Amino acid sequence: QVQLVESGGGLVQAAGSLRLSCAASGRTFSSYGMGWFRQAPGKEREFVAGLSWGGGVTYYADSVKGRFTISRDNAKNTVYLQMNSLKPEDTAVYYCAKSRDRLGAGTSPYDGWGQGTQVTVSS
């Protein structure tokens, strides 16, 4: 069972930046895709970004393209989400997730979740 622990959330002003980190336990981290999701109050959880097992293929929701960058360091069992030009509508709890496949796409089957980290963007 993989355990995922997010960090890096907080309060930031609009147009600011944050970097989220997700540390994973286990020796097979480099074998599967990873993703970031978010859930705002009163809304369903949505896919934000994902990347393949080696990091060579990335996927982004249209709402974050050009502003967010997902990356991973397999030597450190960690996946990152660099968030720039933040907007108030980016306010949500952000979750790291492990995919059962190697893709980490928005439609991939995710079967492991972190506890979430709050991101609040003030206007």
* β partners of residue 114: none
Q: pLDDT of 38-95, one tens digit each? A: 999 999 999 999 999 998 999 999 999 999 999 999 999 999 999 999 999 999 999 9
Does position 27 have pLDDT exceeding 80, yes or no?
Answer: no
Helix (H, G, I), strand (E, B) or coil at 110: strand
Residues 6+ apart with CB under 8 A from 6: 20, 21, 22, 94, 95, 96, 114, 115, 116, 117
Residue 67 in contact with residue 89, Cβ under 8 Å? no
pLDDT value of position 26: 79
Closest CA to 83 of 67, 66, 95, 61: 67
Alpha-carbon distance 43 to 48, whole Å?
14
Q: pLDDT of 95-108, one tens digit each? A: 999 999 999 999 99
